[in-house]
Amino acid sequence: METIQFIFTALAAVWLFNWAIKRRFQLPLPPGPKGLPLVGNLFEMPRDFPWEKYHEWCKEYNTDTLHLYAAGKHIIVLDSPQAAADLLDKRSLIYSGRPRLPMIKELMGWDWFFGFRNYDETCRLHRKLINQAFNPTAVNQFIPQIKRATRNMLGLFLEDPEKLEGNLRRMAGETIMSVSYGIKIQKNDDFYVKTAEQGVSPALHIVGNPGAFLVDTIPILKYVPSWFPGAGFKTKAKEWKRLSKVMLEVPFKAAKAAIADGSASISLVSANLDRLEALGQNDSAQEQAVKEVAGGLYAVGIDTTVSPIVSCILALVKNPAVLKRAQAELDSVIEPGRFPDLSDEPALPYITAIVHESFRWRDVSPQALPHCLIKEDEYNGYRIPAGSIVIANSWALLHNEDIYPDPFAFNPDRFMKEGKLDFQSQRDPSFACWGYGRRKCPGRYMAYPAVWLAITHLLYCFDIMRAKDEYGNDIDPPEEFISALTIMAKPFKYDLKPRSEDIEKLIQQGLSAEVDFREFDGDH
Output the known binding site for heme. Answer: 441
Walk across the sheet containing 65-70 and list its strands: 65-70, 73-78, 389-392, 371-372
Among the listed residues 432, 425, 358, 356, the one whose alpha carbon sits nearest the alpha carbon of residue 79: 432
List the Cα angle 66/68/73 in 5-degree steps. 130
User: Is the distance from CB of 203 to CB of 244 less than 8 angstroms?
Assistant: yes
Residues 6+ apart with CB under 8 A from 14: none
Determine whether 28 is exposed, middle or buried from the number of CB atoms within 10 Å of its CB (0-12, 13-18, 19+): exposed
The DSSP secondary-structure symbol of 465 reads: E
Spatial separation of the C-alpha atoms in residues 245 and 113, rounded to whole Å? 12
User: Binding site: what residues are annotated?
Assistant: 441
At position 91, the amino acid (one-letter code) is: R
Residues shown for the chain = 524
Spatial separation of the C-alpha atoms in residues 78 and 393, rounded to whole Å? 6
Determine whether 480 is exposed, middle or buried from the number of CB atoms within 10 Å of its CB (0-12, 13-18, 19+): exposed
SS3 label, residue 413: helix
How many other β-carbons are positioned within 10 Å of the β-carbon of residue 151?
A: 22
Start-to-end C-alpha separation, the chain:
67
**Torsions phi, psi of 81, nearest 5?**
-60, -35
**Beta-bridge partners for 497:** 463
**Beta-bridge partners for 468:** 474
